[in-house]
Chains A and B, each alone.
Chain A
Amino acid sequence: MRRSLRAEWTKLRTVPSNVATMLALPVLMCAGTAVITAGTDMPGCTADTEGCPTHDTTALTLSGVHFAQLAAIVAAVALVCTEFHPQMIRTTFAMNPRRATVFAAKATVISATVFATAATGVAGAVLVGRVTLTGRGLTADLGYRQLAPSDAAFQRAVLGTVLYLVLVALLSVGVAATVRHTGASIGAMLTLLYGPYLVTLIVPMPTHTLHKIQDASPMTAALAVQATITGTGTAPLAPWTGLAVLAAYTLTALALGSTLFTARDT
């Protein structure tokens, strides 16, 4: 296992495009949050007798996750799929015929790397987002109350976002091992994450149907972990329950991926 881990780490570290993707993850996270917080509508609610609606600043400063996850998907898919096209996988399996170990090594390396880069990116995004919101004058008076860093809900949202990115990367590993084609894997991942979300946006539907779709689709369910105000969020689920939905998808994909990885011809 140690040799496999080292081999996979070398593959990730020495290919310039992989390094670029991993560096892009925190950059996209921060830039995405910066753009979104900078573009948030200025509320004109001062004249409103009922006061300003409360905005979930925590979820807002973590919204760069939409862009960061693109990098997580690409990195994970690349680590698996690039083995198959030049048939590098034969060399890899010749080095270590225990295919399950190779698969586990890939999954471990990608999770550790995504965890580290995502943690950096999320920390940066929170800082950037808070500074931008304050700089634009979106304060607690206008409904943009910022939670204290010691707040349990805030810590859960931040940690949950990092774990979300790790789970998305692992899901991509499972899908990539099943599909074995870069373009198709990325397409499958994006459709899985955004397909149901797009459907809920463009198709008018009764609330119970909407909630069922939100609960069952991996991205909207899992991003409920970012909500710190009851009644907002991407799905009507408890935060960790939402993340568990994504974890269930990830485990299924990893089980399928590792089975096919070991059972199929190269």
Chain B
Amino acid sequence: MRIAQFHSHSLSVRDPTLGRASFDHVTVAPAGPAASDWHDSDVTPSPPSHEPRAVAGQPGAGDRPLYVEIVPGGSAPDRDGTITVTGSGDIGRVGMGGITLADMDRVTASLVGVRLGLIGAVALGVLSMTSEFKTGMIATTFAASPNRGAVLAAKAVAVAVVVFVTGLGASLAAFFAALALQRGNGYRPPVYPEPSMTDPAVLRAIIGTAAFLALIALFSLAIGALVRRTAGAVIVLFALLVVIPTVVAGISASADTWIRRTTPVAGLSIQQTMTFPPGSSEVVTGTWTGFAVLCGYVLVALAAAFRVLRKRDV
């Protein structure tokens, strides 16, 4: 495909402009269907309702638009072999000039609530250990079952199973609820393909999210056994899993990438179902690589907890 003319005006971020690009001598190689069979798709999201105009002087409204308006109603009529594409935003052929099929992984986006859900997993994991230490119940537990390693293992299995089952239910519910909302907001095929439950990558993301929560709960249980204080353990885990990733994401792209590769939140890579063009910050680590990093943290923490529980007085 060659571009004959490109009439697009510079697209300001603040004021959406309708651009127009004409393509003639449109052919496909090897020879495919005729030009009359070409079709266009408007992927513009529906305009936000009640969106107030930017008011000068109001902080945040005028200086830094957080939501870029997009004018709906793009079209691509075909006249004598010349296709004229009209629209706002990026117009042109997919794969050209930074125009990619999708800038968002619909599956990952549907499961993003895991960042809040992990708070519950942390609380359950920590309390399963620290509540026994606080009340002195742990002495009774160890009297009844002097094999401390077995006690730790039993607690770990119980916590992991409960969190995994709950997490799986929540992930499935979130996935289906989010899919409907995404369709309503314009995230539709062909640019945003419809994820299918039969796709192994989608299944891996959903089950992986539940596994992520279970692993976070196990990690929390181990930290709880090491610290033995609810307050200390919850604060350490919250700082590591929520505060640092959140604060850093807004400040430094390089540090954010590093955190998403090396800290326990790297395990969220299991939610990836798409590949993005090079230079995209959506994917920073391999699907299983990041998950393996989290598994490594959990194993080390559990091993340390096992050692400390056997050596320390209750």
Contact = CB atoms under 8 A, between A and B. Distances in A.
Interface in B40-92: 48, 50-52, 58-67
A31 to B, nearest CB: 11
Interface string B91-133: 0000000000000000000001101100100010011001100
Interface stretch (A108-116, A156-164, A180-188, A253-261): A180-188
B234 A194 contact: no
The interface residues of chain B, by DSSP majority, are classed as helix
B243 A39 contact: no
B246 A186 contact: no
Nearest to B185: A204
The interface residues of chain A, by DSSP majority, are classed as helix
B243 A77 contact: no
B34 interface: no
Contact of B66 (A60, A66, A186, A207): A207
B59 A233 contact: yes
A206 B67 contact: yes
A235 B61 CA distance: 11
Interface in A202-227: 202-203, 206-208, 210-211, 227
A236 B254 contact: no
Interface string B242-257: 1100111101111100
**Most A C-beta atoms less than 10 A away, residue of B59, B67, B127, B238:** B59
A119 interface: no
A39 B251 contact: yes
Nearest to B126: A183
8 contacts: A17-B229, A40-B251, A63-B247, A67-B239, A85-B135, A198-B246, A231-B63, A232-B60
Interface of A: 17, 36, 39-41, 60, 63, 66-67, 70, 73-74, 77-78, 85, 182-183, 186-187, 190-191, 194-195, 197-199, 201-203, 206-208, 210-211, 227, 230-233, 235-237
Interface of B: 48, 50-52, 58-67, 112-113, 115-116, 119, 123, 126-127, 130-131, 134-135, 229-232, 234-235, 238-239, 242-243, 246-249, 251-255
